[in-house]
Amino acid sequence: MPYDSRQALPDAVQHVLPAHAQEIYKEAFNNAWEQYKDSDDRRGNDSREEVAHKVAWAAVKHQYHKGDDEKWHKNR
């Protein structure tokens, strides 16, 4: 299910990522949700939702990293 707003994101995303990273996550998830709606487009047995979450986290990790302080920071 696509997310309409940052407030609709899972708690595990809302409570750990900065606002900008949440936006990245939301947009990447929603795009992947559409892109991988056909099971033939997915690898393995992952569900559409599992794939969308993996894509969303990967998109966040392109611009953010988890620091030694366990918080997410924008890459330089």
pLDDT digits (tens, 9 = 90+) for 8-63: 999 999 999 999 999 999 999 999 999 999 888 888 899 999 999 999 999 999 99
Domain 22-74 superfamily per CATH: ChaB (1.10.1740.70)
Please, what is the average pLDDT of the chain? 95
Contacts within 8 Å (CB) and 24+ apart, 45-50: 49/1
Categorize the per-residue pLDDT at 66 as very low, low, confident or very high, splitting at 50, 70 and 90.
very high
- Predicted local confidence at residue 10, as pLDDT: 96
Q: What is the DSSP string of 10-64?
A: -HHHHTTS-HHHHHHHHHHHHHHHHHT-SGGGSSTT--HHHHHHHHHHHHHHHHE
For residue 52, the model assigns a pLDDT of: 97
End-to-end CA distance of the chain: 32
Q: What is the pLDDT of residue 43?
A: 86
